[in-house]
Amino acid sequence: MNGDTARAEHELTLLKGGEALFPAMVEAIAGARSEVMLETYIFDFAHSALSVAEALERAAARGVTVRVVVDGVGTGEIPQDWRVRWAAAGVRWRIFNPAHGWRLLAPRGWRRLHRKLCVVDGDIAFCGGINLLDDHHDPNHGALEQPRFDFAVRVRGPLVEDVHDTMTRLWWRLQTARKLRQVDAEGALTAVRAAARSGVEEPVHSRRMGHGARASLVLRDNFRFRRRIESSYRLAIAQARREIVIANAYFVPGVTLQRALIRAARRGVKITLLLQGRYEYFMQYHASRAAYGPMLAAGVEIIEYEASFLHAKVAVMDAPRGALATVGSSNLDPFSLLLAREANVFVRDDAFAAEMMGHLRYAIAHQGRRVAPDAHARRSLVTRMANWLAYAGMRLMIMIAGKRY
C-alpha cells in the first residue's frame, strides 16, 4: 500500500481474539437497520461463536436482510438445527465451493473462501483472521489452556464501501451460479467465467478524504487480484528501513517474497518472524521449517509462539510516510497467496501500528521461543526429511494447480 492508493478518514479499532471480536460484532448486528453481510472460513456453532449466530437470527427476525457465506470445507454444511432456526428467522446463507471426498483431490477443490469479513448497514466493517470459533477450542485438538492468538479490525469510514462491494459481488455470483445450476450446469460455469472476464470482480477503490487513519482493502482472488496481497507485502518490505515484525500462522514464502525479506535484512532492517510453534498440520508445520534456513542465514530472527495456537496474519513495519500495519486473513504460504480468496486491511497510521506492535512485542518476549540458527542446523535427519517432504509436497500441489511460486 502506498500513500496514493490508501483512503483516509478512518476510525480503526484493533480487536484481539474472538473475546474482543464477537461482542463487537454482536453489538453492531444488534444495531443493524437494513443489512448484515458475513463471510467466514469456519463458523463453529458452539461456545462463544453462538452469540454471533444468535445475533444474526435476531436481526433477520426483525426484518434486517442477513446474508451469510461460509466455506464448503472450513464449515461445510450448516448444522440442521441452525438451518431450521435461520430459515424461520429469514437468514439467507450460501456454501462456497462445497467439496467432499474425491472432489478435494481436484485442484478446483483447493480454492477456498478463507477471508473473514462482515459489514453492517454499510457503516461498520470487520476484517481479520479470526474464524467464528471459540478462542479456547480447536476442532482438531479440543480445549486450549490459552486463547488462540489472532486479530481483526473494526472499521468505520470509506473503506466500508469497499468491503460491502466485494461481499455483494460474491453473493450475487453465488446466487447466479445457484440459479443457473438448477437449469443448466454448463450454463452456470459459462456465466461465472464470463463474469470473471467482464472485469466485474471486486474493485479496490482509491480516493483521498481529509485526515485520519489511511487504509486500503487488499484482496486476493482467482480472477483480477491474483497477486495483490503478496505484491503489497513485497512493496512494504522494500520500503522498510528500520524494522519489520511479521506474525503469520503458516509461513512458507515463495522465492520472490523470500528474496524481498533477505534483501531487507542485508540492508540492515531488523526482521522478526513470530510463527506457529505448536504442531497443528503436518504439511504446514514441516514445510514452514524447511524455509527457516535461508531466513536465519540472512540474520532474520524467528520466534516460535508456544502459549497456544498462533492463527494471526498481521505485520508492522516502518515506512517513509508513517508506520504501516496489516491485519487480515492471508497466510504467507501458497494456499493463501495463490489459491484462496483472502482479504487484508493495510493501515498507515502510527497509533494503530504502535498498538499492534505492543501485542507482538509482548508475545515475542513472553510467549515464544527463539529459534537458534545452530540448533536448527543440527536438527535430526528424520526431522529434515519431514521438513523437505512437506515442502516438496506443497510445491507439487501448487504445480498441479497450474501455479508458479
Q: Which string of DSSP letters, residue by residue, matches 177-194?
A: HHHHHHH-HHHHHHHHHH
DSSP collapsed to 3 states, 284-332: HHHHHHHCHHHHHHCCCEEEEECCCCECCEEEEECCCCCCEEEEECCCE
pLDDT of residue 304: 98
Sign for the CA dihedral angle at 49, 55, 60, 66 comes to negative
DSSP 8-class letter at 174: H
Phi, psi of 390 (to 5 degrees): -65, -45
Crossing angle for the helix pair 282-290 and 381-400, to the nearest 10 degrees: 100
In the chain, what's the furthest Cα-to-Cα distance? Answer: 62
Q: In tens digits, what is the pLDDT along the chain, a chain of 405 residues?
A: 544 457 678 899 999 999 999 999 999 999 999 999 999 999 999 999 999 999 999 999 999 999 999 999 999 899 999 999 999 999 999 999 987 777 677 777 788 999 999 999 999 999 999 999 999 999 889 999 999 999 999 999 999 999 999 999 999 999 886 666 555 444 434 433 443 333 333 333 332 333 468 999 999 988 778 889 999 999 999 999 999 999 999 999 999 999 999 999 999 999 999 999 999 999 999 999 999 999 999 999 999 999 999 999 999 999 888 899 999 999 999 999 999 999 999 999 999 999 999 999 999 999 999 999 999 999 999 999 999 999 999 999 988 988 877
Per-residue confidence (pLDDT) for residue 105, from 0 to 100: 73
- Dihedral class, residue 206 (left if φ above 0, else alpha if ψ from -120 to 50, else beta): beta
What pTM was computed for the model?
A: 0.89
Residue 335: how many CA atoms within 13 Å on its side-chain side?
22
Which of 313, 353, 347 lies closest to 330 in space, CA to CA?
313
Angle formed at CA 95 by CA 94 and CA 98, multiple of 5 degrees = 155
Superfamily designation of domain 7-198: Endonuclease Chain A (3.30.870.10)
Percentage helix, strand, coil for the chain under 3-state DSSP, each rounded to 5: 45, 25, 30
DSSP state letter for 155 = E
Considering the chain, tell me which residue range(s) the CATH 3.30.870.10 domain(s) occupy: 7-198, 214-400
Q: How many CA atoms lie within 13 A of 354 on its CB side?
A: 5
CATH fold of the domain at 214-400: Endonuclease; Chain A (3.30.870)
Residue 68: which of 119, 138, 137, 133 has the closest Cα?
119
**Please, are residues 128 and 152 in contact by the beta-carbon 8 Å criterion?**
yes
Amino acid (1-letter code) at residue 222: N
Look at residues 9, 4, 24, 15 and name the one whose alpha carbon lies nearest to residue 349: 9
